Amino acid sequence: MQRILRRANIKLTVGWAAAMLSGMSLVSMALGLLRERLLNANFGVDSLELDAYRVAFKVPDFMFIILVSGALSVTFIPILNERLSNHNRKSAWELTSSLINFLATITLVASVTIFIFADPIIKYLLAPGMEAEGQQLAVLMMRIIAVNPFLFAISSILTSVQQAVGRFFFFALAPAVYSLGIIVGIIVLAPDFGILGVAYGVVFGSVMQLLVGAMGMAGLGFEYTSGINWRHKGLRETLRLLPQRSLDQGMDYFNSLVEISVASRLRTGLINSWEVAFTLHWVPINLIGIAISTAAFPQMTERISQGRPDLFRKEFIRVLRVLVWLALPVTVVAYVGRGYLVRLLVAEGNEVIANLVGLLVVAMFFRAIFHLVSRSFYAHKDTRTPLIVSIYAIGLNVFLAIFLVLPIGLGLGIAGLAIAQSVVAVVEVTILLSIMQKRHQKLFTLDLISVFARMLLAAVMSAFLMYGLIILFPLRATDVGFFALVPKFGVIVAATLIGYVLLSYLFRLGEPKPVVERALKIIFRPIKIN
C-alpha cells in the first residue's frame, strides 16, 4: 500500500501537472454535474428545500475561505517552497505542523460559533426574504455543515504541502471524493432524512476528503509536532501575509452572500436556479483557469525566488497564451450549447438557468484568466495589489447586484446578478493586467496582441460552426437523459473543437501545433503487416 501511495505521489512537470489537474477537474466536474442533476431530480429546481440547501452552505464556506484558503494557496506554499528548496525539511515540517494546529483551533471556534448563531444568521442576514419553513430547514442544515471549516482546514493544509512539492494526485482527487460523499447522501440518506440527508452526505464527503489528503502525505517524510511554534519565522511570515489575502478572498465570497440575500427577495426557486447556473459557469474556470494556474504557480514562484524576472515573464506569457487558447472555445461551447448543458442538470430543461449561463460566459472567460494573473502577483509575495483591486471590484459588484436586480434600480430580476458578475470580471482583470504591464514593460507586445486577435477570430468562426451544427442537430423535447443528450452534444462539441484547432493551425498559432502533430501521428501511424 505504501508503495502504491508513493507512486501516486511522484513529482510532475508543469505540463503533466496541468494535465492531471485538468483530468481530475474533469472527473470532479462530471461528479458535480451528477450531484446537481440528482438534487434537481429528487427535490425539483424550484423547490424551497434546494433554496434552503444552497443558503446553508454559505456561511461555513465563507468562514473556511476567510480563515484558511488565503493562507494556503498564496502565502503558505511559497514560504514552504523556500524551505524545501533549501533542503530545510525540519523547518518546513515545523511550519506545517504549527499552521495545522493554529488553523484547526480557529476553525473549530468558527464551527462552534456557526452552530450557535445559525438561526439569526439565516433569518436576519443571509435569507431575510425566504419563507419561514425554508429558513428553518436552512438553520438545521447549516448546523450540520458547520463542522466543514474545521475538516477543510486540515485537509487543505495537507494537500497544499503536496502541491508545494509538485505532487498533485491526491490534491486533485480530494474534490471528487467530496462530491462522491454528497452523492451518497442524496442516494442513500435522502430517502429517509429528506434534504437533511444531503447535509449528512456533505459531512461524510468532508471526512473522506480529509482521509484522502492524509494518504497523500505518504512518502514525503512529514513529521507532525503538537503545539504552535510562535517563534518560527515562516509561521510569522505566513500569518503576516494572511490577513490581506484572507480579506481579498473573503470579500470575493462576501459578494456571494449579498447575491443570496438579494435573490431571497425574489420568488422561490430562483436561489437554486442562480446556484445551478453559477455552478455551470465555474466548470471551465476550474477545468482550465484554476488547474493551469495552480500547476504553474510553484514554477512562477521559483523564478522570482531565483531573481530571474525575465524567466518569470517568459513563463507567464507562455501559460497565458495556452490558457486563453483553451478558454475561448470552451466559452463558445458554453454559450452556444447552453441549452444542452442545462438539460444535463435539469431533465426538462430550464429557460431561466439557460439565460443565466448565457449572461455568465464573459465572466467564465475572464475569471479563468484572473486566477493566473492574481497568482502572478502572489508569486512576487504581493498580496496588497490584488486586495485593493478586489475591494473596488466587490464594491462595484454589490452595487450592480442591488441596482440591476431589485425594483429600486432597473429591476431586471435574477438576470441582473449574471450581468453584474460579467461586468466586474472584465473590470478586475483589466485593472490587474494594466498594473502588471506597467511593472513589466515588455509583457504585452504587439506580437502578443496579434496572437490573441487570431485566437479570437478562430473562436468566433467556431461559434458560427457550432450554430450551424445545432441547426442540423436541434435540441428536441424528447432529448431527455444522458444517452439521448451526450452522443448528439458530443458530436457537436467534438466537431466545433476540431474546427477551432484547425483554424488556429491555419492562423499560425503555436498552441495547436503539438495537438495536430500528435493526431496526425496517431492517424497515419505505419501498420506492420506480417
DSSP for 178-241, written as a single string: HHHHHHHIIIIIHHHHTHHHHHHHHHHHHHHHHHHHHHTTTTTT-----S--TT-HHHHHHHHH
Counting Cβ atoms within 10 Å, is residue 44 exposed (0-12), middle (13-18) or buried (19+)? middle
How far apart, in whole angstroms, are the C-alpha atoms of residue 117 and residue 60?
A: 12
For every one of its 530 residues, what pLDDT tens digit does the chain have, with 9 covering 90 and above? 555 445 555 555 555 666 676 677 678 878 988 999 999 999 999 999 999 999 999 999 999 988 887 557 667 888 898 898 888 899 999 999 999 999 999 999 999 999 999 999 999 999 999 999 999 999 999 999 999 999 999 999 999 898 888 777 888 888 899 999 999 999 999 999 999 999 999 999 999 999 999 999 988 889 999 999 999 999 998 888 777 667 767 777 888 999 999 999 999 999 999 999 998 898 888 878 887 887 788 788 888 877 788 888 888 999 999 999 999 999 999 999 999 999 988 888 899 999 999 999 999 999 999 999 998 988 887 878 988 898 899 999 999 999 999 999 999 999 999 999 999 999 999 999 999 988 877 788 889 999 999 999 999 999 999 999 999 988 887 887 777 888 999 999 999 999 999 999 899 998 887 766 766 665 665 544 44
Contacts of 360 (CB under 8 A, 6+ apart): 277, 278, 280, 281, 418, 421, 422
Residue 8 CA from chain centroid, whole number: 23
How far apart, in whole angstroms, are the C-alpha atoms of residue 348 and residue 477?
A: 8
Among the listed residues 219, 223, 217, 181, the one whose alpha carbon sits nearest the alpha carbon of residue 202 = 181
Q: Is the dihedral of CA 478, 479, 484, 488 positive or negative?
A: positive
How far apart, in whole angstroms, are the C-alpha atoms of residue 361 and residue 422?
A: 7
pLDDT at 151 (0 to 100): 96
To 10 degrees, the CA torsion angle through 148, 150, 154, 155? Answer: 0
CA distance to 458, 497, 510, 519, per residue, from 524 (Å):
26, 21, 22, 9
- Residue positions counted in the chain: 530
pLDDT at 530 (0 to 100): 46
Angle between the 233-263 and 270-284 helix axes, to the nearest 10 degrees?
A: 140
Measured in degrees and rounded to the nearest 5, phi and psi for residue 437 equal: -65, -35
Task: Dig out the grid coordinates for 273 from the structure.
Answer: 436556479
CB atoms within 10 A of CB 196: 19
Q: Is the dihedral of CA 59, 60, 61, 66 positive or negative?
A: positive
CB atoms within 10 A of CB 396: 16
φ/ψ region of 219 (left if φ > 0, alpha if ψ in -120 to 50, else beta) reads: left
Name the 3-class secondary structure at 414.
coil
Predicted TM-score (pTM) of this structure = 0.85
Amino acid in the structure at residue 82: E
How far apart, in whole angstroms, are the C-alpha atoms of residue 110 and residue 104?
A: 10
How far apart, in whole angstroms, are the C-alpha atoms of residue 497 and residue 466?
A: 9
User: On the CB side of 402, how many CA atoms lie within 13 Å of its CA?
Assistant: 10
Q: What letter does residue 300 receive in the DSSP assignment? A: H
